Amino acid sequence: MTYSYKPFTRAFRSPKDEAQSPTISTTAVEHRFVAVGFNDGDCSSAASLVEDDLQVPRLPTKSMIALTCGIGGLRLIWSILFSHGSAYLFSLGITKSQSSLIWAIAPICSALIQPIIGAISDISQSCWGRRRPFILAGTIGIATSLTASAWVSDIMRAVAAIFGVHSYEGIKTTTQIGTIICITLLNLCIQPLQSGLRALVIDVCPSEQQSIASAWAGRFTGISNILGYILGSLPLVVSHGNEAWRFRLLSLLSVVVLVITVLTTIYFICEEDPRGVAYEPQKGHLLRALRNVKDGWSSMSTQARRVCTVQFFAWMGWFGFLFYSTLGIERFDFLRDASIRLDTFASLLSAIAALATTVISPHVASPNLVVSFSEKSIPSSRFGKWRTIFIFTTNTAILLIALTGVSWGITQWTPFALLGEEIAMHQAEKDSATEKGGQKWMSSPSGALMGVHNAAISIPQILAAHGSSFIFFMFEGNRSGEDDSIAWVLRTSGVAALVAAWLSWRLKLR
């Protein structure tokens, strides 16, 4: 099928392409799914194409699958960390208060590193494209750092022996230091992969298919969560009930899946060579990223600001739930290995509910329902977290965790739909590129808007991590033998979710 092509000025094309006829077709070349004319653009761009000046060419389903499957591979890594990460840290002698600070590394890296990576990739002129080098480098880094994290105790014992450290406390301290280093490296490597995959989706898909691409990404995310929790809930015979070996096996499996899915994306999705594109020279990526957040907030509409404010308090509540909710089941089941499997089974039910919500909601939601979903999902999350006061059985805890999957599914979809509408409106009102001396230069408010949204998700998690660490620290001095620290972390998370629920009622349609 042949389409008439009117290029969006920020969807960069090579000089060779500029000299060719403006007629393009969506074809499969050398077994690579290539959407010619959609293969480049900056992180916040969306191609504008029309078929016979009326229709927009669409990517085939197989291309959409190849484009978004890498996101599922990355999500499997996170599902393993959510389901078994905290238990693994405890097995290394790390306390709950220390583990909370360790998990704070993730949002810190997301808030500081991801905007810088995005800014650098926007001006990359690699012959591989602007996104794929970062995607590949991030994948290699994740595979290395996660494997090192899984065997950190053995690695650090060898390091301690080299330096003549043989005491128990010395080896324990060395292991804890090594764990922090590995987790930090893991989160640093996640940023270029996560940023590159998301940017590649925006680069390759036309604006009219962005919601479809997000839906496919959501499906792969849900499938990966379910797969991760299924693997985590199975009694692995080779682990012999050892949490360290269980984490090692799950880490290796997740790395294999990540490599396969990312290689699929890199092989089948092509970018144009950006070396012929002129860029405005800019320095100071960190300051520019911070300035983008400030400019994005000032340029936002009232609707978008309210969405980000809701996200701020909602994610302050989600942090404790994601990392510690299932560990609360141990209060009701005193067989440690069995309780960990029950924890993961509860997360599995939650992931199934979230996937069903993510798949069904976009098909039944009108603009009015989008806001309605946002209003109703957060209160259900807040109610769930405060119900910890009244939970006395394992089955009740499992049911409650499963029900929060509905709220999680809405959280993964509604805010992005609302902000996507905001970005689309900006792109429709103003051409994102201006001509300077006959060359194309990039300028768009959408990158700044996404910078604000990223900050609205990351900063509250940092605050929640430190708050959780303080609660755990207070209970570590409790000599009564009863530890309700996780329950109180979830209850305080419910307070933040209550604020988010109130703010969500203020969301208004345009």
Span 283-300, pLDDT tens digits: 555 566 666 666 667 777
Helices and strands (DSSP H and E) totals, the chain: 18, 5
Residue 442 banded pLDDT, cuts 50, 70, 90: very low
Domain of 488?
Answer: 284-430+442-476+484-510
Q: What is the pLDDT of residues 455-482, one digit of tens each?
A: 889 899 999 999 988 988 888 766 554 5
30: in domain: no
Yes or no: say if 265 and 201 are a contact pair by the CB < 8 Å rule. no
Residues 230, 99 share a domain: yes
Q: Could you tell me if 255 and 317 lie in one domain?
A: no
pLDDT of residue 135: 94
> Is 14 part of a structural domain of the chain?
no
Query: Does residue 230 share a domain with residue 288?
Result: no
CA–CA gap between residue 459 and residue 448 (Å, rounded): 16
Number of domains comprising the chain: 2
For position 367, which CATH number holds? Answer: 1.20.1250.20
pLDDT at residue 180 in the model: 93
Average pLDDT rounded to a whole number, residues 68-89: 90
For residues 270 and 310, membership in a common domain is answered with no
pLDDT for 146: 96
| pLDDT > 90? residue 155 | yes
Is residue 336 domain-shared with residue 247, that is, in the same domain?
no
Tens-place pLDDT, residues 215-225: 788 889 889 98
Is there a domain that residue 55 lies in? no
Tell me what pLDDT residue 258 has. 97
Residue that wins the pLDDT comparison between 275 and 179: 179
Q: Does residue 132 lie within any of the structural domains?
A: yes
Within-domain flag for 263: yes
Is pLDDT larger for residue 90 or for residue 420? 90
Mutual angle of helices 367-386 and 414-429, in 10-degree steps: 150
Tokens of 487: 């329950």
Q: Is 350 helix (H, G, I), strand (E, B) or coil?
A: helix
For 60-72, the three-class secondary structure string (H helix, E strand, C coil) is CHHHHHHHHHHHH
- Residue finishing a domain among 276, 304, 326: 276
Question: 3-state DSSP call for residue 22?
Answer: coil
Return the pLDDT at 343.
72
Burial class (CB in 10 A: 0-12, 13-18, 19+), 249: middle
> Mean pLDDT of all residues in the chain?
73
| Strand 23-29 relative to strand 439-442, pairing | unpaired
Model-wide pTM > 0.75: no
**Are 261 and 301 within one domain?**
no
Alpha helix segments (H runs only) across 325-393: 336-364, 367-386
CA angle 505/507/510 to nearest 5° reads 145
pLDDT, average across residues 263-284: 71
Range with the lowest mean pLDDT among 87-101, 179-193, 358-372?
358-372
pLDDT at 151: 95
